[in-house]
Structure 1
Amino acid sequence: MSSRETIVNGAVRVRFAPSPTGALHLGGARTALFNWLFAKHFDGTFVLRIEDTDQERSTQEAVETILKGLSWLGIYWEEGPRDGGPFEPYFQTQRLHIYKKYAEQLIKEGKAYYCYCTTDELKKEREKAAKNKAAPKYNKKCRFLNAEDAKELHVSRRNKVLRFKMPEEGKTIFNDLCRGEVKFENELLDDFIIMKSDGFPTYNFAAVVDDHLMEISHVIRGDDHLSNTPRQIQIYQAFGWNPPHFGHIPMILGKDKARLSKRHGAQSVTEYAKEGFLPEAMVNFLARLGWGHKDQEIFSRKELIELFTLDKVTNSPAVFDSDKLTWLNSHYIKESLPERIFDLALPYLEKAYPKLKLDDKDAAGIAYLKKVITVLQERLRLITDIVPASEYFFKDITSYDEKAAAKHFKGEETTKILEDLKRSLSELKTFDKPSIEDVFKGLAEKLKVKLGGVIHPARLALTGRAVTPGMYDVIEVLGKEKVIERLEKAIKFMG
């Protein structure tokens, strides 16, 4: 069944609900992207909700980092933090009174009960289950307390929690938009906690209340949440609410098929931004983690919105490939306007070369830098590559690549090539690429050597390297004065 066939009344409302306990990592970013693309595809609404009920680990700094990461990716929300909306507040810690109200309703209707079991009692139950090689499951002791015992415990024990009464038989069945029909045996699911002793809700309870009140039509999330779905559906049914459509996307694995982590090279979204990745490369990369359209690899944002549906999401885990991400980034760098790369590269260059502090009045400096970036742009994998790639444009040559020097800096013939090249270039009245190319070709013909016999020693002399962008482009950007100076230095080095 296609996602389009599951739309109810044509109104699509999705949400991304991160916990602010750390930075926005690739898994969360992909979930946000899939929700955003789904909303845009159906002209729906993308809601951002902050699930900050973990008071020990949630921080405002993490909230800001998540918002910054989403903004960098170009994932903007119609409702949520900063912008508000008709169902605010969008922070769960500001909605505690709402959860309390609905929890009291379940108690009143006999669909939830207080559990007075101590930590030690629950620990012993888990140890007993482990010993019997059984899945840990609450024994429902407090579910069947008589009124007198329950009243006594309610007074004597402060650390009580609220548990939901799960059906003891039957099945919870739902149609997953990515996986098809999914069934859970109710007897295998325990009476889970919905309100903790500190008055804060658990994830399953708060998510259901919020999703219902915020009129969320589709819940799209990682398949690690699949086991939460039957519990949430039972809460919906207890309130008499219609549950949303659920779609569980596959987890992301490393190349070793283990769950993605830092050891696979995965970082937070903001770290990727600092390293010189472009947002469109990251969006393209994330979109292809578990979703695809034929054999197409490159997608514009517009294409993604037009093509994205959940029926194209695979069930098998997606594999993180850092080489693919870097390849995509190099593609988008090549496709970008030089002016954009200039703006992105400038902070890195100014940090690497303190003397390069440019202002709007330094027309010559800006023009030179733009030429450097234009020459190097085709070869950049990351924006940060501009620093090592451009070094010979901003620093004097202090050494030569040893392997290349052993091959290209030897014999009187090479010395003569560089001397003749210096003389011919110094005589040029117009120091541009066509004129420089004519000099090289003319010199190779005159000295009866292959063109590479002139280019290779010249490249080494002018950059200290064996590999660079096109030599004629490099020479034009360096300028006559610097080129002559470096050729003289190389000739002395050889002599």
Structure 2
Amino acid sequence: MSVILRFAPSPTGRLHIGNLRTALFNWLFAMREGGHFVLRFDDTDRQRSTRENADRIEKDLAWIGIEPHRIARQSERLALYDAAAAKLKAAGLLYPCYETPDELDRKRKRLAARGLPPVYGREALKLLPGERRALEEAGRKPHWRFLLPNFTLDPFAPARTDIAFDDMIRGPTAIDLASLSDPVLIREDGSYLYTLPSVVDDAEMGVTHVIRGDDHVTNTAVQAAIFEALGASVPRFGHHNLLTTIGGDGLSKRSGALSLETLREEGYEPMALASLAVLVGTAGAIEPMADLSALGARLDFSAVSASASKFDPAELDRLNREIVHTLPYAAVAGRLADMGVAETDGEAFWQAVRANCDRVPDARVFAEIVFGDPVVPPPADAAEAAFRAAALRLLPDGETGPETFREWTTAIRTETGAKGKALFLPLRRAITGLDHGPELGPLLPLIGRERLLRRLG
């Protein structure tokens, strides 16, 4: 049987590298197993979910190289959830509750004061039909809870009931349903929380494996119970460690600072992000992978750490730099053209400057120096002025070519005695206006004689 995996983001903000970690774990596993990958938008939150955010997520994933075999939106599948809810209600497993958030909060505080876990006591199950009617006539609208199967005969006498499963990443795992409150599946306004639509969709789509963050371990036990209540097969679950900031804070879709969109706009390479998202917090070196296929070959769930891993921007910079330094011209031609670099000069220009670029957009500075008319600072003193005068006079005749720089610096060294830093630094300043940068030799044919004369004069 072919494996089917899914990534189910809520389109309430922008994807960050932590979300990408989950998406890639699912995508890479599906591709390695010859299976299918579903992008499913959890957009039942009517107030915060937007189509604009969903479109951003699709664009982000496409940039990384993730191509879903199917795209689904939960907002278009409500009839399936309604049917599942009706089935659970008919079986007495979905029951109405009328407590307000304030009332529930007070109950939790009373339990905490007594040293008891904040587990809902199923008080709503004791309401008689007339009492429910009275509450609704008073304006109360019910939310609906799923009755967990953690008792034998009396729902008010729950007993330890372990949901055990072999986690793809964490290994044997067990959650006691008696330690949990009956989960709310439907809000007061009739909208669905994440839990029920996720189960219904996984069952209807034939999802075989679910890989997600380890903050969902408890949800897995609840969802397994719902799968069984609906007569559906339970997928195999895997829970990976989460990424945090260097300071240990959780990543947020709504902060935007580490979003894929922002990092893309800042000039990072997709494989730098993908490599870090998958390899951080695993055994082995964090190194830039050539493509997703190579990254998939490195994916090893047994090597994933049990503790949270920190996203280090410096690590991303290192990976990006290593990738950029090996990028062929064909991979950057379009971006260089946007900087005004002509195709005829592109290959030679990129080969000359890429070792000095941490990100491809860094090449813009060098493009302006090579092909434009940068402001060159005047000589710092009389000695530098004399040096520039000599350099101008000794510039070889004719158009600049591959040998121009060697011939030129030999002539300057012979006449002035300058060598090493005393030779190359003032020459670089006169030509580029910078104290450091790419090797000058390959740049001279691109700069051309006329521009050199203007700068030296």
Give yes or no for TM over 0.5: yes
- How do 1:331-370 and structure 2 match up within 5 A? 331-347=322-338, 349=339, 365-368=342-345
Q: Which residue of 2 aligns with 1:207?
A: 198
Higher helix residue share:
1
- How do 1:129-148 and structure 2 match up within 5 A? 129-132=111-114, 134-147=116-129
Deviations 1:373-412 (A, max 9, x none): 44222211112222334432354343539xxx6xxx4444
Alpha-carbon distance between aligned partners in 2 of 1:124 and 1:308, rounded to the nearest angstrom = 46
The answer on 1:237 being equivalent to 2:206 is: no
Alpha-carbon distance between aligned partners in 2 of 1:153 and 1:398, rounded to the nearest angstrom = 78
Tell me the CA shift for residue 190 of structure 1: 0.9
Q: Which residue of 2 aligns with 1:196?
A: 187
**Aligned AA (2:388):** L
Q: Which of the numbers 397, 418, 436 marks the counterpart of 2:388?
A: 418
Structure 1, unmatched stretches of 5+, are: 1-9, 81-89, 350-355, 359-364, 489-495
Tell me the CA shift for residue 208 of structure 1: 0.9
- How do 1:266-415 and structure 2 match up within 5 A? 266-292=257-283, 294-295=284-285, 297-300=287-290, 301-347=292-338, 349=339, 365-368=342-345, 371-400=348-377, 409-412=380-383, 414-415=384-385
Tell me the CA shift for residue 206 of structure 1: 1.2
Tell me the CA shift for residue 31 of structure 1: 0.8
**Aligned AA (1:298):** P
Q: Which residue of 2 aligns with 1:361?
A: none
* 52-61 or 162-171: bigger deviation: 162-171
Q: Which of the numbers 8, 12, 24 marks the counterpart of 1:17?
A: 8
Alpha-carbon distance between aligned partners in 2 of 1:233 and 1:441, rounded to the nearest angstrom = 78
Q: Which residue of 2 aligns with 1:448?
A: 417
Partner secondary structure for residue 194 of structure 1? strand
Partner secondary structure for residue 241 of structure 1? coil
**Aligned AA (1:454):** L
Alpha-carbon distance between aligned partners in 1 of 2:248 and 2:103, rounded to the nearest angstrom = 38
Alpha-carbon distance between aligned partners in 2 of 1:296 and 1:397, rounded to the nearest angstrom = 39
- Cα RMSD between the aligned structures? 2.6
Q: Which residue of 2 aligns with 1:479?
A: 448
Deviations 1:13-64 (A, max 9, x none): 1000010101111111111111000101111110111110111101111011
Q: Which of the numbers 102, 108, 113 marks the counterpart of 2:95?
A: 113
TM-score by length of 1: 0.83
Partner secondary structure for residue 30 of structure 1? helix
Tell me the CA shift for residue 186 of structure 1: 2.0
Alpha-carbon distance change, 373 to 236 in structure 1, aligned in 2, over 3 angstroms: same
Alpha-carbon distance between aligned partners in 2 of 1:137 and 1:144, rounded to the nearest angstrom = 16
Deviations 1:284-310 (A, max 9, x none): 221212335x33623222222233242
Alpha-carbon distance between aligned partners in 2 of 1:260 and 1:198, rounded to the nearest angstrom = 29
Partner secondary structure for residue 41 of structure 2? coil
Partner secondary structure for residue 433 of structure 1? coil
Alpha-carbon distance between aligned partners in 1 of 2:136 and 2:420, rounded to the nearest angstrom = 92
Alpha-carbon distance change, 313 to 396 in structure 1, aligned in 2, over 3 angstroms: same
Alpha-carbon distance between aligned partners in 2 of 1:322 and 1:380, rounded to the nearest angstrom = 17
The answer on 1:103 being equivalent to 2:85 is: yes
Partner secondary structure for residue 15 of structure 1? strand
**Aligned AA (1:200):** S
Q: Which residue of 1 aligns with 2:155?
A: none
**Aligned AA (2:75):** T
Q: Does the 8 Å contact 1:26/1:267 carry over to 2? A: yes
Percent of pairs identical after alignment? Answer: 30
The answer on 1:64 being equivalent to 2:55 is: yes
Partner secondary structure for residue 113 of structure 1? strand
Alpha-carbon distance change, 469 to 262 in structure 1, aligned in 2, over 3 angstroms: farther
* 334-343 or 368-377: bigger deviation: 368-377
Alpha-carbon distance change, 153 to 198 in structure 1, aligned in 2, over 3 angstroms: same
Partner secondary structure for residue 234 of structure 1? helix
Alpha-carbon distance change, 321 to 389 in structure 1, aligned in 2, over 3 angstroms: farther
Alpha-carbon distance between aligned partners in 1 of 2:376 and 2:117, rounded to the nearest angstrom = 66
Structure 2, unmatched stretches of 5+, are: 151-157
Q: Does the 8 Å contact 2:329/2:347 carry over to 1? A: yes
Q: Which residue of 2 aligns with 1:227?
A: 218
Alpha-carbon distance between aligned partners in 2 of 1:264 and 1:17, rounded to the nearest angstrom = 19
Q: Which of the numbers 351, 375, 400 marks the counterpart of 1:431?
A: 400
Alpha-carbon distance between aligned partners in 2 of 1:394 and 1:435, rounded to the nearest angstrom = 18
Q: Does the 8 Å contact 2:368/2:374 carry over to 1? A: no
Alpha-carbon distance change, 450 to 304 in structure 1, aligned in 2, over 3 angstroms: same
Q: Does the 8 Å contact 1:444/1:453 carry over to 2? A: no
Partner secondary structure for residue 442 of structure 1? helix
The answer on 1:122 being equivalent to 2:104 is: yes
Alpha-carbon distance change, 91 to 260 in structure 1, aligned in 2, over 3 angstroms: closer
* 258-267 or 90-99: bigger deviation: 258-267
Deviations 1:434-476 (A, max 9, x none): 2321221233134333243322111111111110211222322
Q: How many residues align?
A: 447
Q: Which residue of 2 aligns with 1:78?
A: 69
Q: Which residue of 2 aligns with 1:457?
A: 426
Partner secondary structure for residue 37 of structure 2? strand
Deviations 1:244-281 (A, max 9, x none): 11111111022223323599994211111111112122
Q: Which residue of 2 aligns with 1:161?
A: 143
Q: Does the 8 Å contact 1:46/1:78 carry over to 2? A: yes
Alpha-carbon distance change, 263 to 15 in structure 1, aligned in 2, over 3 angstroms: closer
Deviations 1:50-106 (A, max 9, x none): 1101111011110110111011111011111xxxxxxxxx21111111111111111
Tell me the CA shift for residue 367 of structure 1: 3.0
Alpha-carbon distance between aligned partners in 1 of 2:77 and 2:317, rounded to the nearest angstrom = 42
Alpha-carbon distance change, 262 to 207 in structure 1, aligned in 2, over 3 angstroms: closer
Partner secondary structure for residue 315 of structure 1? coil
